[in-house]
Every structure is written in C-alpha cells, then in structure tokens.
Structure 1
C-alpha cells in the first residue's frame, strides 16, 4: 500500500543519499528547482547519520544505491537507460551498477531449484558450484546436466526478491507522489511515469520464463550470424525462478589484455560488436538492450557470446526505417533529410520550422565529424541531439531512448577493444544495406505485397459485405445510392481484387 508507512523507508533513503553525497549530484543532474534542493537538504542533513555509509571508493550515486539494496541497484540500472531524465553524465555513472551484491548461500539456491523443478538436485545436476556471479535480482551457478553430461549455467532468483521489490516500489511511488506535490516544476520529468516504467521492467525480470523466451527468440534470430552466438535454453529445467542455459566458456569483453594474449584481433572484434548490434536492431527489430562488457564474452574461436537477456529492445518496422534514415542522413551529412525525417515521423511538432531544425542539426553534426576518427563519438552526437530535439518540442520516445542508450554502451565496448575505431565508417555498410532493402523500390514492392495479402483475406467476404450493405440500406428505406457511393463500392471491390493480384505477383517475384 502506497501510504505513510513508506515514510521510514524514504527517511532512510534520503539519509543515505545525503551521507554519501548522492543527493547533490542527483539534484544537479535532474535540474531540481533551487527551493526544492534547499528544502530537501535542510530536512535530511540533520538525520544523515541514519543512512548507510556505502563504499567510499564508488561515485556518490552508485555508492548510495548499492548500499540501499537490490531494488535501488536495479532502479539505477533502469535510470541509466534514461539520459533524458538524469542527464548523460549521471547515466554513464549508473551503468556500472552490475553484479555488485554479495551472493546468497548455495543451499538456498538448491532449495529453490528443487522446489521449482520438483526433483532433487542430484536427479538434475551434478557438480553444482558456488555462485559464479551475483546481481541485484539473481545469481548464477555452474553445474553439469546429468542427462546430457554437458556443463550448464543455472540462474536462480534471490529468495524473497519479489516481496522486497514490491515494498521498495511502493516507496518509490510514494516518493514520486510527494515530489510532484511539493515541486510542480518537477512534473516535466514525469516521476510517476519513470517509476511505472521501472516497475514494468522489473516485473519482467522477476519471471525467468520471460527471460528464457527472450533468449530463445534472440537465438533464433541470430542463429546464422557468423561470429555471434546466444546460449540455448533448456526449457525442461527452467521455471519462473530458475533458468538453465548451456554453459559458454570465454573471456570477458572487459579483459582486453587477456583477449590480446589469446591472439584475438581486437580491431575486428570492436567492429563486430557495433555491426552486430545495428544488424539486430535494424534487420530484426529485436536487440540486446544491455550489451555492456559484463554481458559479452569472446569465445575461443573469436566469436562474441551474448549473455543476460533480462532487458531486450523491440522496434516496429516503421520505427526502424525512421531510425535508419536518421543515421544514414548523419553519415552522409544530409542534415536537411534528417530534419525532414523527424517531421515526417511526427517526432517534432509540425508547427516548427524544418529549415531551422536542419540548421540546428548541422550545428550538432559538423563539429563532431570534423574530429579525428578516434574522437568521433556517437555518444556525443546523441547527447547533443537530445538537447536539440528537446528545444524543438520533441516528446520523449521510450523505444528510441533505449535504442540510443544501448548504442552508446555498445560504442563504449567497441572503443575499449579498438580506441581508434571510426564509429560511422563501421556503421555505414549496415545502415546502407538496410536503406537499400527497406527504403528503396524493393521496399515499395514488399509493402504492396503485404497490403495485397491483407486485402486478399477479405476477398471471399466481399459478396457478403455487399449484400449486408444493401440489406441495411433497404431496411433504412433510403433512396438508391448516389453514383458516388456506387463508385466507392466498385473501387473497393476492384481495388481489393487488383491489390490481391499485385500482392501475388510481387510475392512470386520476391521469392
């Protein structure tokens, strides 16, 4: 219940934020009104001793969230995907919130597995290890499947994590309500919507069946991608609180020295990480939305292995085309076209001036493209783009923010492997291929085929629809239809037939 009983939890939270120095950093990043800052710090400063001390070696906000526990760590991870809310610098700090919690006992994990899967551990797995990784929601153990003899990774939810999250989410909603009441200016940041988004993401991660489904879909999409792989899920040994995948050996993407020592080409790997992300986002419309170093390994054969599928991104076909055209416009320095795409998609209000918007985009792109290749940054471009679109009244689009945020993270991984990588040159072939196949004449034919297929479904029903229309007209004792209405009926019937024919022909041509 989102009521006053949450006040103690919020007091402890505020005290921790003040004690660790996170209060000032967070308010600066979110541009909180001065009066609200003074009031908040005046209230919590005398009671900061009630807060957790945290790890002084960490940045203030990361230190505070880590000290406050799993829900706060996960909240920080989600906020790292919203630079429009917390600012680019703070979003970058929050991205380090991964695998920061101590593991829970091995015995508790075994108890969860036996309860969830309905069999003793020995009947399912052998050599069940101590935790090999522990995050805010779950931890991972290595074991051997007794049926196949193969090594597997077993992900197990933390005991009581659902209840803990519900309690803290209630407190978050209560805090959002208080902030909106006390500071009307903060409503532009939509605190309630941010918490609602967080709750939706967390609810998805608290059911490992959903993550298993994401992993399976992602694996099916990328099965033929050379140099990229996704572990397979064992559905017979997975449930709501347990997920079993094939074990994959590899070097963590963050350990560049080990990757070099193993003889891998880091330049090629850096290109591959970026190109694979773009290919998945544009080709499939389904991408790994948390591709940081900790979720990527380099296998012995040099292929990239993706892990942890709790946060995935999805784009419909129209949004993919818009995004590709925006990227392609920047690559070609065609700022006028980039501006037009924003207006055509409705991202920028129609009453704004397209030429002025194009000039603003020119001012964003030119300084960046004039840099040395090693300094050309997609992250900087996206940061400036956020500022420009906000100035022109572009509303926040969650799906694009998640895509852009992931792109920034992927750029960081690519640069760690190859500091001199030219992000735009690497992206060019993927974007160009997509544009050729999805925006040009072939795309028109494909769209016609899809339209014809949809209209063809109604072909057998056209006589009944016409008869029903005539009966209804007779019942209403209306005069004979005007010629224009007969023309409309004829056009509908003829158009459906023609569209169906076109769809059939185009479908044959494309096969």
Structure 2
C-alpha cells in the first residue's frame, strides 16, 4: 500500500508539471506526438521543459533531487537546456530534527553523546539529501565535524529505486530512441552512487586516501578522520576553517591572490587525475573553501568525499594517447583511438568521425578561458557522440563532470585564465612519465624484480628439462643428448633474439610517442 501511494504521488507530480508531455514529445512516431499534444491540452505548461523537470524533482524529494544531480552529469544523454537546468538543483534540503541526530549518534557509539563529545552543537551547519553535519568538541580539546546519515535512507532509497527501475523499463518499451538513452543503465549507475554515499565509512576512507595523495602538494587541505569514531552511519573529522570559494570579494579583501588561486585549482585537478588516478569528483563551489589561517593562507580546503573518481592505468594510457593526438591536432588518430577502444562500432567511418571531432575542437585552440567554454566543447562532442553511437565510459563521465566544475571555478576566480597554458607544464611532465623515456625506465624498473627472480632459475629449469627428455626411451642416449642440446641451443637463440627485438620495439615505440607534441 505504501509503495502504491508513493507511485500515485509520483504520477500526480508528473501530470502537474507536464513531464508526460515532455516524454511523449521526444518520441518519433506520429501517434506518440499526437498523444503528447492531447496530454498538453487543458494544462498551462508555460515554463521551459528543463525548468519543469527540475521543479518536479525538487517536489518529489531528496532522492529524486540526487537523481537529477547525477543525471545532469550525463550530458551525452540529455539536450543541453535540460542538462543546464538540472545542474541548478541544490543539495540544500531541510535538516532532520536534532533529537534524531542525537539518537543516531548514540546508537552508533552505544553510549550517550555527552560521554563521546565534550560539546555537541544541536543546530546543523549543513544539510544535504544524504546526511547533515554538526560541529562538536572532543574531550581532548579537538574541534571536529560530525556527519550523520539521514534516518531511514536505505529503505526510502530502495523503494524509490524500485520505482525508477520500473519507469526505466516502461520507457525502453515505448520507444527505440529511448533505448539509446539506456535508462536502466542510468538508474543502475545512480544506484551505485547512492549506495556508495550511504556508507560513510567509505567516504572517510576516500578522504584519507586523498589526504595522503595531496600531502606533498601543499595546495589543498583535506580533513583528518578520527577513525575511533567513524562508522557506517556516523563519521567524525577534523573541523576546517575557511571561506567558501564563491565569496571571491571576501577572499580578495583578505589578501588572497585570486589569479594564483585559479592556477592552483587547475594544478590540483590535473595532479589528482593524471598523477594519482584518484580525484574528487564533486568539486562544486559548495564543497570547496579557502583557508585564511596564517600557516595555510590561500590553500584550498576540500570537503564531502562521497563521490570519488578513479582511473586505471589503461584509462590513463588511453587519455595520454588522446592528449598526444589532440595537441598535435591529429584528429584522425583521435577517431582511430575511439574505434580501437570500442567506444564506437567497428564499422564507423574514420573520416566522418575525424571530421566531427575536428569541427568540435579546432576553433578552441590557443584561446583564453574567458573566450571559450569547455562545457560547449563537451556538449558538441556529446552531440557528435550521439550521431556515432559513442559509448561513454562511467569513469570518464565523472572526469568530464569534474572538468566542468573546474571551468566554473576558473571563470569565477579569473576570467583571464588560459586553462591550457596553465596546465601545459604539468601535462608535459605527465606525458613524459606516460609515454616518454622516463616511462620506459619506470616500466623496466617495475619488471626488474620478476626478472631478477626468474633469471637465476633458468639454468636449473633447463637442466631439469634435459633430464626429463633424456629419460625417454628413444633411439639412444647419445642421440637424445645431441638432439636436446641442439634444440636447447635453438631455444636459447630464439629467446635471446626475440627478447632483444622486443626491447628494441619498446624503445622505438616510446621514442616515436615522445616526439614533440606542443
């Protein structure tokens, strides 16, 4: 009955905001378009479709707001106006009562709050769709932030996800064009994000890893976790003091070098992505502050680590090859990489994909950030991707989303910032590590322990092989020995020549890839 009531409420919201008309009008068959016009009759739907969708998600509650936020990152699936509107969804929702927060904390620790904290502020300082944050003080004097998971979230999420899966199946059955949008896969991706965020212990581990990675950079601060007080429902971390990065005038009045702050943001982003393959994937202004303390003046402060992106060595190598091709403006190679990686069907014509990529990227080289929009570039690339049925990888979608966040921060801080010129020194070092001589040396160094263990065993292994062959009842011991010696000699020659050729091939490939690209 409860699920039926929830479904009825969703249907009412869909009808009130005209989402049924929005869905039907996107279908190609003429009967569907006619049905959309009939659905619109008798209702005032003056607001643009994206606005109506955003307002409907806000009315449906925190889970649908979070779904809209995740959906806004899939610009490869949405029209530009709807994607832009969904990015306006705010993560600020009404807090749950302080009494509930206190009960959840006591349940997590199995003892009263006043035995855990010397002081616990009942009024939350931040409230989101998944959790809310309270400030507190430990008995040893440390000031901390306590993040508490919203009560009953798992049950509500599972119920709403079940409804979303049902809706996704209906959409796929109604339209072949809707199947290309992969609604069930989008819901599955949303399911993963939500359940990852529901485990606050996972978020604490993400923060700890990011803190270790960024420790030597001295540009960004990550709060330290109080592990003795971290559970799946409640985590406790160091309290950070900073000014929200969106308050640019306040930062400038305090003496912060705003252009340097913008450049530091680019450096932090590229370091996390290309050096570590582990990056903060929710870097909107609400999660970024700037320290004004004397010993850490001007450093970024990162908050909220529920969404973290990761890149494998294969991903990084693929990106490295794409960067080489892009900076050489070798769009044919970019198109070939898309086909080789399986992103587009094998039958795709390379020349057509090359032409589409050139049209997207060529007008934007050598221009300052104030004159270009990476969002527009990505949007055109996504439009081209729909034409060629490009399969966008989830981890790279997160990377694209974070790149859009960085662009927004750069525009806000320093409209004169040239993103590519700022990133060039870092990219040159990174490319050297990925495909240059340094990469060859690093690979040989990584493989050295295996070779060091294998090479001393080679004589014994060869001797055992000879004895095993010699024990066979053949024509005669001498003939067997001569035969095995000749065969072993040929094997050793093939091994030596083959290994030499392999090493020379690697050297040649690395040398070719390391040709100047800027």
TM-score (norm 1): 0.83
Alpha-carbon spacing, 1:356–1:87, altered in 2? closer, same or farther (3 Å) = same
2:510 maps to none
8 A Cα contact 1:456 1:496, kept in partner? no
CA positional deviation for 1:184: 3.4
Answering whether residue 277 of structure 2 is matched by residue 285 of structure 1, we say: yes
- Which runs of 5 or more residues in structure 1 are unaligned? 503-511
1:427 maps to 423
Counterpart-to-counterpart distance in 1, 2:485 and 2:389: 46
Counterpart-to-counterpart distance in 1, 2:343 and 2:470: 43
Counterpart-to-counterpart distance in 2, 1:38 and 1:243: 53
Answering whether residue 89 of structure 2 is matched by residue 97 of structure 1, we say: yes
Equivalent residue for 1:366, pick from 326, 339, 362: 362
Equivalent residue for 2:120, pick from 109, 128, 131: 128
2:99 maps to 107
8 A Cα contact 1:10 1:175, kept in partner? no
Answering whether residue 142 of structure 2 is matched by residue 153 of structure 1, we say: no
Counterpart-to-counterpart distance in 1, 2:59 and 2:486: 72
1:116 maps to 108
- 1:340-396 CA-partner distances (Å, limit 9, x unpaired): 443454444454444443333222122223766512222222222223344344322
8 A Cα contact 2:73 2:401, kept in partner? yes
2:14 maps to 17
2:175 maps to 183
Equivalent residue for 2:58, pick from 66, 79, 83: 66
1:208 maps to 200
CA positional deviation for 1:20: 3.2
Alpha-carbon spacing, 1:496–1:338, altered in 2? closer, same or farther (3 Å) = closer
SS of residue paired to 1:67:
helix
Rg bigger for which structure?
Answer: 2
Matches within 5 A, 1:344-383: 344-369=340-365, 373-383=369-379
8 A Cα contact 2:219 2:268, kept in partner? no
8 A Cα contact 2:469 2:484, kept in partner? no
- 1:236-271 CA-partner distances (Å, limit 9, x unpaired): 111010011101011111222222222212221122
Equivalent residue for 1:79, pick from 71, 84, 88: 71
Alpha-carbon spacing, 1:485–1:74, altered in 2? closer, same or farther (3 Å) = farther
Alpha-carbon spacing, 1:354–1:236, altered in 2? closer, same or farther (3 Å) = same
Alignment: residue pair count: 487
1:258 maps to 250
Alpha-carbon spacing, 1:25–1:426, altered in 2? closer, same or farther (3 Å) = farther
Matches within 5 A, 1:484-499: 490=492
CA positional deviation for 1:452: 4.2
CA positional deviation for 1:197: 1.0
2:213 maps to 221
2:516 maps to none
Answering whether residue 381 of structure 2 is matched by residue 385 of structure 1, we say: yes
Bigger shift: residues 353-362 or 159-168: 353-362
8 A Cα contact 1:155 1:244, kept in partner? yes
CA positional deviation for 1:95: 2.6
Alpha-carbon spacing, 1:345–1:106, altered in 2? closer, same or farther (3 Å) = same
- 1:441-470 CA-partner distances (Å, limit 9, x unpaired): 211222233344445566688767996999
Bigger shift: residues 8-17 or 251-260: 8-17
Counterpart-to-counterpart distance in 2, 1:181 and 1:155: 41
8 A Cα contact 1:32 1:186, kept in partner? no
Equivalent residue for 1:415, pick from 394, 411, 421: 411
8 A Cα contact 2:144 2:239, kept in partner? yes
8 A Cα contact 1:98 1:136, kept in partner? no
CA positional deviation for 1:42: 5.5
1:249 maps to 241
8 A Cα contact 1:328 1:431, kept in partner? no
Answering whether residue 331 of structure 2 is matched by residue 338 of structure 1, we say: no
Counterpart-to-counterpart distance in 2, 1:313 and 1:70: 23
SS of residue paired to 1:220:
helix
Alpha-carbon spacing, 1:79–1:33, altered in 2? closer, same or farther (3 Å) = farther
- 1:412-435 CA-partner distances (Å, limit 9, x unpaired): 111111122222222222222211
- Which runs of 5 or more residues in structure 2 are unaligned? 475-479, 505-518
Answering whether residue 429 of structure 2 is matched by residue 437 of structure 1, we say: no
Counterpart-to-counterpart distance in 2, 1:466 and 1:357: 56
Answering whether residue 317 of structure 2 is matched by residue 321 of structure 1, we say: yes
8 A Cα contact 1:211 1:309, kept in partner? yes
Counterpart-to-counterpart distance in 2, 1:219 and 1:488: 54
TM-score (norm 2): 0.82
CA positional deviation for 1:85: 1.8
2:162 maps to 170
1:140 maps to 133
Bigger shift: residues 331-340 or 212-221: 331-340
Alpha-carbon spacing, 1:24–1:445, altered in 2? closer, same or farther (3 Å) = farther
Alpha-carbon spacing, 1:13–1:469, altered in 2? closer, same or farther (3 Å) = farther
Counterpart-to-counterpart distance in 1, 2:346 and 2:134: 54
